[in-house]
Each structure stands twice: as C-alpha cells, then as structure tokens.
Amino acid sequence: MKISGSYTLPVAPERAYQILQDPAILARAMPGCESLEKIGPDEYRMKMKVLLAALSGEFEGKMRIADQAPPTSFRLIVEGSGRIGFLKGDGLLKLAPAATVRVLSAAPSEPPETIVSYEGDAQVGGTMAAVGQRLIDGTSKMMIKKFFDKLASLATDQRDS
C-alpha cells in the first residue's frame, strides 16, 4: 500500500526536524502510543495500541531513522507486530519552509511554517489484512492526520512556553 501526503507544521524546518525525532514528543503525538524508548542511535522501540474497526490490539515494534539530512529530509523505517497482524513501513519525509510562497503577502511577523511531505510503502499482514483490508487505507490516513494535528499543537505549546 502506498502512503503519501503532506502537512504543514507551524514551526521552522529546523524545529520541525527536531520534534519529528524527539521520542518524548513523538510518544505523545502518535495515536495509541504507549511507550517509545531509544534503544540505539536513531533506533527506538515502541508499543502502541491500534484500533481498526472491530479489531484492536497492541503492537510492539521498532522505528529506525536513516538517511538523515537535517533539516530537509530523513527516512523512517517502521516494523511492528501484534495479535492482529503485522505492519511494515518505509517512508521518506521531506521538510520545506512554507514561507517562500507567502513571502509577498505575509506580514514580516508571520510565524514560520514547514511543509512536511511524506511518501512511502506500507505492508500490512495477518488478521488485519484479511479482515480489515477495506478499512486500512482510511484508518491510516486518519491516524496520520491525528499524529500531525497533535504534533502541531505540541510544537506550538512548546514554542509558547
């Protein structure tokens, strides 16, 4: 399954890049995330609860960050499995300042923004694939949106504080 999209975060690229790799913030932003701990350089172990229609279950997995090119891009590799199946994903996240398009109209005090665009491949297996196939696409989109919404609010909170 191909996953792609973009989201605008209300922070500058440098800051966006930083929060996208901050375990404490990610743990709070990821829907259903129960724990996220660093187990090595750019490698994390996580536990999350997934709800897919009538299916629910805990996933345990690993998240790895590769090809780091701050503050413009990095690759995210996710692998998890649980009672209701397994999940494998590999995606590229690109960060670009949003200001360029607004430079003329925007007031000088306009806060900086970053467009995060992502593109990747996800594989889903087990019961989740057999039973929830038709719902996976919608659910994953919803989860990604929830993630960024939360991330955006966390980023703003922290900036304000």
Partner 1 sequence: MATTTTKTETFVGKRVRRREDPRLITGTATYVEDIQMPGMHYAVILRSPHAAARIRSIKAKQAEAAPGVVCVFTGKDTKGVGVVPCGIAMPDLRVPQHNILATDRVYFVGHPVAVVVARDRYLARDAAELIEVDYDILPAVADPEKALTKGAPAVHPQWPDNIAFTYHQDGGNVDKVFAEADVVVKQRIVSQRLVPMAMETRGVVAEWRGADRQLNLYTSTQIPHLVRTLVAGMLGLEENRTRVIAPEVGGGFGSKLNVYAEEALMGFVSMRIQKPVKWIESRRENFTCTTHGRGHVDYYEIAAKRDGTILGIKLKLIQDVGAYHQLLTPLIPQLSVLMMPGLYNTQNIRADIVGVFTNCVPTDAYRGAGRPEATHGIERMVDILAAELKMDPAQIRLKNFVTKDKFPYATATGLMYDSGDYAAPLKKALDLVGYVKLRQEQADLRKQGKYMGIGISTYGEICAIGPSPATPAGGWESATVKIEPSGKITILTGACPHGQGEETTFAQIAADELGVGLDDILVTRGDTAVVQYGIGTFGSRATAVGGTALYYALQDLKAKIKKFGAMLLESDDVTLVGGQVVCDKTGKAKPLREIAGASYRALKLPPNTEPGLIATRFWEPPNFTFPFGAHIVVTDIDSETGQIKVRRYVAVDDCGNILNPLIVDGQVHGGVAQGLGQALWEQAVYDDNGQLITGELTDYALPRAHLMPWIESHHTCTPSPVNPLGVKGVGEAGTIGCSPAVVNSAVDALSPLGVRHIDMPLTPEKIWKLLAKKN
Q: Applying CB under 8 A, what is the total number of residues that bind partner 1?
A: 15
Rounded Cα distance, 46 and 43, in Å: 10
Q: Is 50 in the site for partner 1 (CB under 8 A)?
A: no
Instruction: Report in angstroms how near the CB of residue 120 gets to partner 1 at its nearest.
Output: 15
64 near partner 1, rule: CB under 8 A: no
Least distance in angstroms from the C-beta of 77 to partner 1: 13
Binding track over 5-44 against partner 1, x by CB under 8 A: ----------------------------------------
Among 65, 92, 96, 131, which residue sits at the site for partner 1 (rule: CB under 8 A)? 131
Q: Which residues bind partner 1 (CB under 8 A)?
A: 81, 83, 85-86, 88, 123-127, 129-131, 133-134
